[in-house]
């Protein structure tokens, strides 16, 4: 059982002796004047604004191109910590891909009774159109963002799996670029594993899953909903870094179950589409008929094996929060192994026994929508007012199957530069796992930080910020 909300583990080792991989940073913070750090933070904001590194938050209505706050104090993992995480991440994503392949084919895990069939077959994330469709390399979740939280020196837990269209990798890359420009001497004193090769790794993964009939170098495009999407900066950034075309649905046309993109020189055949559009909007002929974001006939071309969609439609069945409690059993079932990374204990509110416990302990739990994301529709019990808990109680009673609940974890903290100087703030970590013919992981990930004192909500859409994540190849000399 992970530590529930209490005194959090500080990743520097404080209040005890500073851990070796944080020693140089700790000394640097102690010796650096606040005014210098403040100047560097302003410089970082200027760098991000000039580069157009923004994240739209639809509910705010004031600044559709606001910056995600960037904290200039890095979060550090030593090589041993990262090696264990990599083993757990590879294991977990292999099991998730096996699960998606299984539920759209033989459904052996359902026949074995390892999880309730109705949770899968009646789930909004289940895509019946994917039934019996074979995909290249049996890879459905080509890009996964696995959210990890830490509650102790050796205790990491998977908070959730993002298997649909996970975002945030561009901020991982831009955070590193900013740190290298702002603090070159500090960076040079640490042996930091690079992350800049992520676009190359992503491109290689997408090439590896081109359709069997593809001859020559596959033509890859990135499909975006357009400039109004909150992650549009990331879409354009990744397309540019990979050297592929950024397209919208109207830029593609399907003819005889082949996909082409419109160019100034005429139509050009497309082999792989890295899509950042949700399933229902991909093809108005197959899914939502009112969608203007997708391309008519796209799914038929996909079913015919003439184009690869990454991530695969229907991959979201693997990241539904009601499915999440069963991932450890997936690992045992498909891989015959014990999970390296544990789940957070989870109450499925659709189970009457679990619901009764949740209703009696709302003030202690985090309640989430089973199909929610971005920190929306969530109750953090210890921080919620009585009226908010009463509102959630009514929602739970009315539609219990729509919710899960978890203990309020004591997320680890890292030193963070705030208005009053350096202070601990809660963090999580989203590494990005690529799956094609092989599994690839760039060392590090996106560290998100809750900037408000005591807050446990790190989501960018809820006011959280980000940090550069350093994986040290060896300890710095102090």
Is pLDDT above 70 for 323? yes
Final residue before a domain boundary, out of 306, 333, 364: 306
- How is 392-454 classified by DSSP, letter by letter? HHHHHHH-GGGEEEEE-B---EEEEEETTEEEEEEEEEE-EEEESSSEEE-S--EEEE--STT
Helix ranges (DSSP H) in 166-231: 169-182, 184-188, 198-208
Res. 67 pLDDT band, cuts 50 70 90: confident
pLDDT of residue 108: 98
Q: In this structure, what DSSP letter does residue 290 have? A: T
Containing domain of residue 294, as a range? 212-306
Pair (441, 328) in one structural domain: yes
Q: Which residues of 460-472 are buried (b: 16+ CB within 10 A; e: fewer)?
A: bbbbbbbbbbbbb
128 within some domain: yes
- The residues near 208 (Cβ < 8 Å, ≥ 6 apart) are 136, 137, 436, 437, 438
pLDDT of residue 105: 98
> Do 222 and 199 contact (CB within 8 A), yes or no?
no
Res. 478 pLDDT band, cuts 50 70 90: low
> Do 411 and 149 contact (CB within 8 A), yes or no?
yes
pLDDT of residue 239: 98
Note the Cα 462 to chain centre separation in Å.
15
- The residues near 136 (Cβ < 8 Å, ≥ 6 apart) are 208, 209, 210, 211, 212, 308
- Angle of CA points 248, 252, 253, to nearest 5°: 150
Quick: pLDDT tens for 114-138: 999 999 999 999 999 999 999 999 9
Burial of 224 (C-beta count, 10 Å sphere; 0-12/13-18/19+): buried
Pair (250, 112) in one structural domain: no
Pair (271, 181) in one structural domain: no
- How far CA 169 is from CA of 172, 412, 442, 469, in Å, comes to 5, 22, 10, 12
Is pLDDT above 80 for 3? no
Helix (H) or strand (E) holding 238: helix 232-242
The residue among 7, 15, 1 whose CA lies nearest residue 155 is 1
The β-bridge partners of 444 are: none
Is pLDDT above 50 for 62? no
* Tokens read off for 198: 């992520």
Res. 8 pLDDT band, cuts 50 70 90: confident
- The residues near 316 (Cβ < 8 Å, ≥ 6 apart) are 125, 127, 163, 164, 279
**What angle, 0 to 180 degrees and rounded to 10, lies between the N-to-C axes of helices 198-208 and 169-182?**
150
Res. 6 pLDDT band, cuts 50 70 90: low
113 within some domain: yes
pLDDT of residue 57: 55
Mean pLDDT is lowest, of 210-214, 236-240, 341-345, 369-373, for 369-373
Is pLDDT above 80 for 60? no
Res. 316 pLDDT band, cuts 50 70 90: very high
Q: Alpha-carbon torsion 121, 126, 130, 132, what sign?
A: negative
Pair (86, 144) in one structural domain: yes
pLDDT of residue 240: 98
State the CATH number of the domain containing residue 288: 3.40.50.11290
Is beta strand 308-310 parallel, antiparallel or unpaired with respect to 342-343?
unpaired
Is pLDDT above 90 for 15? no
Euclidean distance between CA atoms 140 and 105, whole angstroms: 13
Pair (236, 327) in one structural domain: no
Euclidean distance between CA atoms 410 and 344, whole angstroms: 12
316 within some domain: no
Is beta strand 342-343 parallel, antiparallel or unpaired with respect to 155-162?
parallel
Pair (182, 271) in one structural domain: no
Pair (272, 339) in one structural domain: no
Phi, then psi, of 429 in degrees rounded to 5: -145, 130
Average pLDDT over residues 172-197: 97
Average pLDDT over residues 260-268: 97
* Tokens read off for 80: 């041993």
299 within some domain: yes
* Tokens read off for 182: 């702002």
Is beta strand 220-223 parallel, antiparallel or unpaired with respect to 272-275?
parallel
Q: What is the domain count for the chain?
A: 2
Helix (H) or strand (E) holding 356: helix 352-360
Average pLDDT over residues 343-370: 94
Burial of 445 (C-beta count, 10 Å sphere; 0-12/13-18/19+): buried
Euclidean distance between CA atoms 271 and 193, whole angstroms: 33
Pair (281, 179) in one structural domain: no
Final residue before a domain boundary, out of 279, 306, 333: 306
Note the Cα 67 to chain centre separation in Å.
19
pLDDT of residue 214: 92
Pair (174, 40) in one structural domain: yes
5 within some domain: no
pLDDT of residue 1: 58
328 within some domain: yes
Is pLDDT above 70 for 237? yes
119 within some domain: yes
Q: In this structure, what DSSP letter does residue 381 have? A: G
Average pLDDT over residues 446-470: 88
Res. 395 pLDDT band, cuts 50 70 90: very high
- Angle of CA points 348, 354, 355, to nearest 5°: 90
Give the chain's mean pLDDT.
93
Pair (250, 121) in one structural domain: no
Neighbouring CB atoms inside 10 A of 166's CB total 23
Is pLDDT above 80 for 413? yes
Quick: pLDDT tens for 136-175: 999 999 999 999 999 999 999 999 999 999 999 999 999 9
145 within some domain: yes
Is pLDDT above 80 for 477? no
Pair (145, 33) in one structural domain: yes
Helix (H) or strand (E) holding 73: strand 70-77
Mean pLDDT is lowest, of 208-217, 275-284, 332-341, 373-382, for 373-382
pLDDT of residue 64: 56
Pair (185, 329) in one structural domain: yes
């Amino acid at each position: 059982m992970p530590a529930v909300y209490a005194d959090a583990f500080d990743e520097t080792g404080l209040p005890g002796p500073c851990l070796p991989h944080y020693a140089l940073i700790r000394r640097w913070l102690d010796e650096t004047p606040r005014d210098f750090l403040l100047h560097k933070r302003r410089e970082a904001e200027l760098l991000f604004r000039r580069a157009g590194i923004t994240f739209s938050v639809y509910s705010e209505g004031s600044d559709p191109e606001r910056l995600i706050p960037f904290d200039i104090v890095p979060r550090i993992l030593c090589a041993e910590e990262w090696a264990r995480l990599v083993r757990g991440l590879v294991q977990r994503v292999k099991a998730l891909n096996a699960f998606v392949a299984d539920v759209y084919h033989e459904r052996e895990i359902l026949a074995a009774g390892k999880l309730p069939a109705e949770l899968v077959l009646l789930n909004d994330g289940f895509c019946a159109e994917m039934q019996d469709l074979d995909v290249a390399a049996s890879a459905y979740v080509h890009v996964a963002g696995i959210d990890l939280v830490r509650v102790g020196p050796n205790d990491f837990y998977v908070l959730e799996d993002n298997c649909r269209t996970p975002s945030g990798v561009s901020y991982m890359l831009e955070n590193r670029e900013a740190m290298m420009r702002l603090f070159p001497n500090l960076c040079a004193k640490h042996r930091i594993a690079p992350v800049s090769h992520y676009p190359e790794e992503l491109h290689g993964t997408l090439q590896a899953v081109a359709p069997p009939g593809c001859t020559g170098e596959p033509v890859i495009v990135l499909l975006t909903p357009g400039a109004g999407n909150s992650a549009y900066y990331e879409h354009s950034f990744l397309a540019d870094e990979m050297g592929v075309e950024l397209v919208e649905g109207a830029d593609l046309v399907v003819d005889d179950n082949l996909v082409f993109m419109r160019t100034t020189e005429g139509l050009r055949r497309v082999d792989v589409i890295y899509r950042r559009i949700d399933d229902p909007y991909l093809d108005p002929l197959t899914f939502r008929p009112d969608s203007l974001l997708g391309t008519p006939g796209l799914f038929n071309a996909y079913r015919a094996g003439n184009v690869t969609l990454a991530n695969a439609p229907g991959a979201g069945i693997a990241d539904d929060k009601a499915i999440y409690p069963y991932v450890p059993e997936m690992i045992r079932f498909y891989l015959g192994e014990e999970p390296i990374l544990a789940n957070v204990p989870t109450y499925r509110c659709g189970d009457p026994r679990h619901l009764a416990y949740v209703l009696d302990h709302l003030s202690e739990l985090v309640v989430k929508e089973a199909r929610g994301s971005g920190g929306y529709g969530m109750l953090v019990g210890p921080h919620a007012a009585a009226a908010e808990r009463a509102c959630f109680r009514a929602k739970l009673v009315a539609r219990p199957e729509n919710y899960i609940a978890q203990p309020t974890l004591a997320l680890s903290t890292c030193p963070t530069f705030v208005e009053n100087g350096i202070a601990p703030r809660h963090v999580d970590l989203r590494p990005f796992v690529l799956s094609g013919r092989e599994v690839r992981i760039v060392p590090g990930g996106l560290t998100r930080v809750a900037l408000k004192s005591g807050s446990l909500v790190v989501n960018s859409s809820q006011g959280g910020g980000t940090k550069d994540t350093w994986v040290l190849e060896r300890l710095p000399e102090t």
